[in-house]
Amino acid sequence: MISRRGVLLAAGLTLLPSRAAAAPSIVKPLPATDFVVHGTNAETRWEALRGTGSLTPVSKFFVRNHTSTPLLDAATWRLRISGSGVARPLSLSLRDLKALPSVSVEAVIECAGNGRSFFTSQQGQAVSGTPWRLGAIGNARWRGVSLGLLLRRAGLRPSAVSVLPAGLDDDYVTGGVNLGRVRRPLPVEKALDDVLVAYEMNGAALPPDHGFPARLVVPGWVGIASIKWLGSLEVSTSELHSPWDTDYYRLIGPSYPAGGTLVTTQVGKSAFELAWDATVPAGRRVLTGRSWSPHGVREVEVSTDGRTWRRATPVARGGWTRWQVPWQARPGAHVLRARVAGQPDEVPLNTQGYLFGAVVRHPVTVV
């Protein structure tokens, strides 16, 4: 791995203090018009998606880094597949990977904690973790090789049960404890279903912040499953674990069993393409937004008066559904709500603030 500083110095660049101070862990520019920075992470501003198509431009795609984006050398990178669950361990170069049959899928990647801040601001509950609003999601077209194909090439044994993908970013150290590489087990059934080892995002090579040269894309599951900067896949005939399934990504709270419930799939959500606390001029407007759910989106409903709901008109479908609805905006303070089937008004507390699937109350001032 080449260090970021080394590359920047070699390229004769200087660190821009403004950006370096904002999120030195992320390589791409993070203009304040497009992102809200939270420590090593950056969330997309929903108003910045207005006028963009269904695919989130890479320049606006949220970044969730446990540490820092590593700058990996494609020429020396290898993906290693090994463990008791495979008969023929593999070591693939990027060239080897690209020589295999590829598939492309449009899918969102969404952090398990997307919407977390609303546990506090809407439900008055304290939770730990990055206080995302709804911008820890992006939709892209990913191209790569089916993980099932790779596992079969490695001689997957019928007795294999777990696959543990690990990233090549730095070890994650928290509270003085080194938890090692970011890694999180995947059951073999999901690994064989629709998971990709992706090397392209929206038709170009994966950018450094999103996993160059290759990442996992695990459709429908929380973002942590989609390990970036993929370096190895351990395949095992016994259950594999990591802190990312034993300690994190568990629903823990009064309405969950002791030890918590493991988080795997995401929950449906909806968002308006409006600034948080937007101020808009009075008059006839068209509200635009997007809804998404691992179960698909059939119908989206919008409420602009706090009481009644009407159907939004779908504009485009895919990884998420874009929709619009007319609104006669009258001066004053308003709360806008949008929901896809199954979104409740409130969700039970979990202390790490995952899977906030309740309807978000979006404040807007009309002048």
Ligand X SMILES: Nc1nc2c(c(=O)[nH]1)N[C@H]1C(S)=C(S)[C@@H](COP(=O)(O)O)O[C@H]1N2
Q: Which residues are near Mo ion by CB under 5 A? A: 64, 111, 223-224
Burial of 32 by CB count in 10 Å (0-12 exposed, 13-18 middle, 19+ buried)?
A: exposed
Smallest separation, CB 299 to ligand X (Å)? 27
Smallest separation, CB 302 to Mo ion (Å)? 28
How many beta carbons lie within 10 A of that of residue 6, not counting itself?
A: 11
Q: Residue of minimal CB distance from ligand X?
A: 167
| Lookup: tokens for 256 | 């969950």
Q: Which is nearer to Mo ion, 83 or 113 (CB)?
A: 113
Smallest separation, CB 38 to Mo ion (Å)? 12
For ligand X, which stretch binds (CB under 6 A), given 76-84, 222-230, 286-294, 326-334?
Answer: 222-230
- Is there binding between residue 116 and ligand X (CB under 6 A)? no
Contact positions with ligand X (CB under 6 A) in 156-215:
167, 169, 182, 210
Q: How far apart are CA 306 and CA 170, in angstroms?
A: 47
Contact positions with ligand X (CB under 6 A) in 50-89:
61-66
In the list ligand X, Mo ion, none, the entry touching 229 (Cβ below 5 to 8 angstroms by class) is ligand X
Q: How far apart are CA 264 and CA 187, in angstroms?
A: 10
Q: Are 83 and 159 in contact (CB under 8 A)?
A: no
R_g (Cα) of the chain, nearest Å: 21
- The 8 Å CB, 24+ separation contacts for 208-212 are 208/27, 208/28, 208/69, 208/70, 208/71, 208/72, 209/26, 209/27, 209/28, 209/63, 209/65, 209/69, 210/58, 210/61, 210/63, 212/72, 212/74
Q: Which of 145, 224, 338, 360 binds ligand X (CB under 6 A)?
A: 224
Q: Is the peptide bond before 165 cis (omega within 30 degrees of 0)?
A: no
Smallest separation, CB 170 to Mo ion (Å)? 17
Q: Which is nearer to ligand X, 183 or 322 (CB)?
A: 183
Smallest separation, CB 161 to ligand X (Å)? 22
Q: Which is nearer to ligand X, 182 or 329 (CB)?
A: 182
Which amino acid is residue 251, in one-letter code? Answer: L
Q: Which is nearer to Mo ion, 94 or 109 (CB)?
A: 109
Q: Which of 94, 109, 349, 364 binds ligand X (CB under 6 A)?
A: 109
Cβ within 8 Å of residue 41, ≥6 positions away: 23, 62, 63, 64, 65, 130, 136
Smallest separation, CB 281 to ligand X (Å)? 33
Which amino acid is residue 100, in one-letter code? Answer: L
Q: Which is nearer to ligand X, 190 or 210 (CB)?
A: 210
Smallest separation, CB 40 to ligand X (Å)? 8
Which amino acid is residue 86, in one-letter code? Answer: V
Q: How far apart are CA 247 and CA 197, in angstroms?
A: 26
- Tell me the torsion sign for CA atoms 304, 307, 308, 313: positive
In the DSSP assignment, the letter for residue 56 is P
- Is there binding between residue 339 and ligand X (CB under 6 A)? no
Site size with ligand X, rule: CB under 6 A: 19
Q: Which is nearer to ligand X, 210 or 334 (CB)?
A: 210
**DSSP class per residue in 210-242:** GTTT-EEE-TTB-GGGS-SSEEEEEEESS----
In the list ligand X, Mo ion, none, the entry touching 118 (Cβ below 5 to 8 angstroms by class) is none
Smallest separation, CB 58 to ligand X (Å)? 10
Smallest separation, CB 64 to Mo ion (Å)? 4
Q: Which is nearer to ligand X, 110 or 301 (CB)?
A: 110
Q: Which is nearer to ligand X, 68 or 303 (CB)?
A: 68
* Residue ranges binding ligand X (CB under 6 A): 61-66, 109, 111, 138, 167, 169, 182, 210, 223-224, 226-229
